[in-house]
Amino acid sequence: MTKVREWQRMDNRKRGKDMNIIETRQLSKTYRRVVKREGLGGSVRSLFRREYEEKQAVRDMDFSVREGEFVGLIGPNGAGKTTLIKMLTGIIAPTSGEIQVMGFCPNDLKNDFKRQYAIVMGQKSQLFFELTTNDTLRMFQEIYGLKEREFQETKAYFTELFGAEKLLDVQVRTLSLGERMKMELMAALLHNPRILFLDEPTIGLDAVASRQIRGFLREINQERGTTILLTSHYMEDIRSLCDRSVVINHGQKIYDGETGELFEKYQRDRQVTVSFDQAVERTELPDGAVLVEETPYKKVIRVPREESGALLQRLMGYGPKDVIVEEDEIGRVVERIYGEGENREER
Amino acid sequence: MREMRKYREIMHVYIKSQLAWRADVVFNMLFTVAKILFAWLLWGMVFRERNTVADFTFHGMLSYYIVSSFLSQLEMSGGISGEISARIRNGTFSNYMVMPVSIEGYFAAMEVGVVLFYLCFDLLAAMVWIFVFRIQFLFARSAVVLGCALLMTVLGLFFMVQLNYFLGILTLKYEEISTFLMIKDNLVSLVTGTIVPLALFPEGVVGVMRLLPFYYVTYLPSMLFTGRCAEEAVRGLVVLGLWCVLMQWAIVVTWRKYRVKYDGVGV
């Protein structure tokens, strides 16, 4: 019976793929913060005359997400990503604009709404550190009103997926960061939410743990049809998981489209590494190409993407032993993406 | 019923949390034992030269002391305001906001979990020592008075949870609530006679204090349990009940009005 209901729910999710599960219009959030001049005098003055400044964290954001999508939110620190997620989950109230998530106004904080989503913040834990994950899961079973069979089936599914059999009965405080993140995800996904909000889930994790977490998220999105909204500073997370990316800077959306296209757009250079059997003293380079590293037997050249063919043709003339063509370094791509946002701001 | 199971499980989690630390369990039991031992020695010396003090016999005084210190030990809701305030200020209050539970209910269940834990272990320690010292425990004989005392204890503890929750959510408006907490602590000490014995106040002042809820949180239930002040039982329940309703109203209004000020900063 539980299985049948589960499949029906998955089916509904797949049928609802064309529906917007999240929609915002002209959404804005302004924080007010106290400003104080430095020193004791400034503190005394602030006691009698408090000065405030306003910081607009999100500005006139129009944004929508369809059911089943995996969307990445990218932006530098303070861009407004976390503020947007907090508004979508109802944690904070917007200053102006409209917001609708699964048909609910999030800040009404209705229990029916809260039962349908989950949020995992990399720097914040839902688990009880002195207890075991099993203890927390049992509490969440009751909080989300899960029947025993449904609870056991979901727990078994995630235990297998995360390879977490031996982790459920140990104190959470003794788990490694990667293990703890798996347990956080398990606790968050126990009630099979329609939307999963993830704020920096791989922060501080090593490469192996990050790759594992990415694998789990991909499976949850594809197999369970869970809509996922992910913020991360690690572009590898965004590129390998999200079909769609939204770039935010200074509270405004500066890109909303396919992740592949985003990287294509900003990936302007190629790096070509060429090695020779015999010493080659000089190579002729096409316009725009820059020698990054040079020895008689090896040259590393950065070249604009559209000139890479011409460069390779010239290099072939020297009879190379080996040629490696690499994509632009991801850090440079990110700098360009954010840099474009800055320029728009200035304009 | 399903709703209640949520809070029962939250309560279980907090009992389990207390049990995680074995040293805490042992030291808490030792503390209860030490208090009874100290009271037995102190009042033993006082009663060596007389049979009664302020109408209390030796066993009556020990009974009152054990009950009142036991009830005071159970009233641990002060941590709620501190925790809410800290979590609002550091942004982790969101953890409670995203769960499909009443946040006030969550804190009340948490408090019940903590209190039940101490109730079990302290009661066990107290009973062993009452037996060891052969204290002839004096209890009220009337079942109605005992029932009133029990109900008043539960209402009193619930009121303190409400009050501390209310003070905690005032952080949404004032950001800093330590002054409110200081006023509350001093008022509680004054009304329960910890700072100045109530007998030293004029009758009119004591009358006003009886309109405040704190008088009924530990002091009156202790007197009722040990067979005194029975005539105040019903009035106490009515006053305390009205305070609980008033406090709940204040919580609902404050939460509705200031919830939108929460900005969840710090994480």
B210-253 pLDDT per residue, tens: 899 999 988 899 889 988 889 999 999 999 999 999 999 999 99
Q: Verify that A209 and A312 share a domain, yes or no.
A: no
Is A136 within a domain?
Answer: yes
Please give the residue range of the domain that contains residue A301.
Answer: 269-327
Q: A8 pLDDT exceeds 50? A: no
- The whole-angstrom distance between A135's CA and the closest CA on chain B is 7
Q: Is residue A276 less than 8 Å (CB to CB) from chain B? A: no
Is A60 within a domain?
Answer: no
Q: Verify that A204 and A238 share a domain, yes or no.
A: yes
- Return the pLDDT at B197: 67
- Return the pLDDT at A4: 42
- Return the pLDDT at A12: 52
Q: Verify that A237 and A160 share a domain, yes or no.
A: yes
Q: Verify that A97 and A227 share a domain, yes or no.
A: yes
Q: Verify that A242 and A313 share a domain, yes or no.
A: no
Confidence category of residue A347, pLDDT binned at 50, 70, 90: very low
How many other C-beta atoms can be found within 10 angstroms of the C-beta atom of residue B158?
A: 19
Query: What distance in Å separates the CA atoms of residue A162 and residue A133, rounded to the nearest whole number?
Result: 13
Q: B65 pLDDT exceeds 70? A: yes
How many other C-beta atoms can be found within 10 angstroms of the C-beta atom of residue B267?
A: 15
Q: A207 pLDDT exceeds 50? A: yes
Q: B24 pLDDT exceeds 80? A: no
Q: Contacts of residue B9 in chain A, CB cutoff 8 Å? A: 138-139, 141-143
Which residues face A272 on adjacent strands? A301, A325
A306: DSSP letter? G
Query: What distance in Å separates the CA atoms of residue A14 and residue A8, rounded to the nearest whole number?
Result: 10
Domain boundaries, chain B: 2-261
Cα end-to-end distance, chain A, whole Å: 59
Q: Verify that A323 and A278 share a domain, yes or no.
A: yes
Of A112, A126, A130, the CB nearest to B17: A130
Q: Take residue A41 and report the two structure tokens written for it.
A: 């005098």
Selected residue with higher pLDDT from A31 and A340: A31
Q: Verify that A167 and A211 share a domain, yes or no.
A: yes
- The whole-angstrom distance between B20's CA and the closest CA on chain A is 7
Q: B199 pLDDT exceeds 70? A: no
Last residue of a domain, one of A240, A264, A288: A264
Q: B57 pLDDT exceeds 90? A: no
Is A30 within a domain?
Answer: no
Q: Verify that A96 and A169 share a domain, yes or no.
A: yes
Q: Verify that A101 and A225 share a domain, yes or no.
A: yes
Is A123 within a domain?
Answer: yes
- Nearest CA to A276 out of A229, A318, A335 is that of A318
Is A312 within a domain?
Answer: yes
Is A140 within a domain?
Answer: yes
Q: Is the ipTM of this complex over 0.90?
A: no
β-strand pairing of B52-53 with A298-304: unpaired
Q: Verify that A183 and A98 share a domain, yes or no.
A: yes
Q: Verify that A237 and A276 share a domain, yes or no.
A: no
Confidence category of residue A3, pLDDT binned at 50, 70, 90: very low
Q: What is the mean pLDDT of residues B63-70?
A: 83
Average predicted confidence (pLDDT) for chain A: 87
To the nearest 10°, report the CA torsion of A34, A37, A40, A46. -40
Q: CATH no. for residue A292?
A: 3.30.70
Q: Contacts of residue B92 in chain A, CB cutoff 8 Å? A: 124
Q: Verify that A89 and A226 share a domain, yes or no.
A: yes
- Nearest CA to A106 out of B174, B110, B264, B173 is that of B264
Q: CATH no. for residue A197?
A: 3.40.50.300
B248-262 pLDDT per residue, tens: 999 999 999 999 999
Q: A210 pLDDT exceeds 80? A: yes
